[in-house]
Amino acid sequence: MGMFDTIIFDRSIPCPKCGAEICSDQTKAFECTLDDYRVGDCVAHAEEIRIVRDELFCGKCTAFTGAYYYLAVYRGILVGIEQEREAAEALLRSFNFEKLLLWYHEMYRQRERACGATHRAEMFMHNVCEWFEGGYDKMAPEDRRSLLFIWNRDILEKSETSLAALHHFLAECEAEAKAGDDNGQMSLW
C-alpha cells in the first residue's frame, strides 16, 4: 500500500459487512508521512478548507466495506469525521472560529514541548560523547568538574557504557511520560 497516514476516529464506525467496530483507517489524502491524526490535529496548510472522502476499510473483514466517511478540514485542521457528506458540509459551514484558535494554541504548546524534548535529547547525546570520550567515566567523582554535566550527571555516573547511558535516559523519559499521562498531561515522548 505504500505510505499513508492513519485517521483515529473520535467515535468508532461499525463495519456494514460484519458489524465490527472500526476505530481508525488509513488515508493517502494528506502528506503520507505515517502520522496518526485525530480531530483537532493539523493535517494540511492553513488555507485549506475541504472535505475528503475515503472508503472505510475493515480489519476484521480485511476488505474495503463500500461505505465512506468524510473528513472535514477547516484552515488545515481536521475539525470532524462524519459518515455523511451533508453532515461534514454542515460542520464546515457552522464551525466555531474560537475553537479553531484554541486548537492552534494547543498545537503551539505541543510544538514547544517537542522542541524542548528534542533539545534535551541532543544535549544528552553531546554529554554522553563528552563523558565517555573525555574519560570522565574513569575519573573519581571528586575529580570531575562540578558544573559540567549538571543536568545529566546522575544518569552518566550510573552508566558503564554509552549504550547503557542511552537506555537509562530512555527509561527516565518513559517514566516521566507515564507520570505525565497519569496526571492528565501530554508526554514529552
Q: Which of 70, 71, 63 is nearest to 44 (CA)?
A: 71
Query: What does the block give as the cell for 17?
Result: 459487512
pLDDT band of residue 187 (cuts 50, 70, 90) is very low
pLDDT in tens, 127-153: 999 999 988 888 887 777 667 788 888
- For residue 167, the Cα-to-chain-centroid distance in whole angstroms is 21
pLDDT band of residue 189 (cuts 50, 70, 90) is very low
Name beta bridge partners: 13.
Answer: 22
Between CA 93 and CA 91 the distance in angstroms is 6
Q: Are strands 21-27 and 36-37 parallel, antiparallel or unpaired?
A: unpaired
3-state secondary structure of 51: strand
pLDDT in tens, 39-85: 988 888 878 889 999 999 998 988 898 899 999 999 888 999 999 99
Average pLDDT over residues 116-134: 91
Contacts made by residues 96-101, CB under 8 angstroms, sequence distance 24+? 100/74, 100/75
Between CA 142 and CA 124 the distance in angstroms is 22
Residue 186, pLDDT score: 47
Name beta bridge partners: 72.
Answer: 51, 80
pTM exceeding the 0.75 threshold for the entire prediction: no
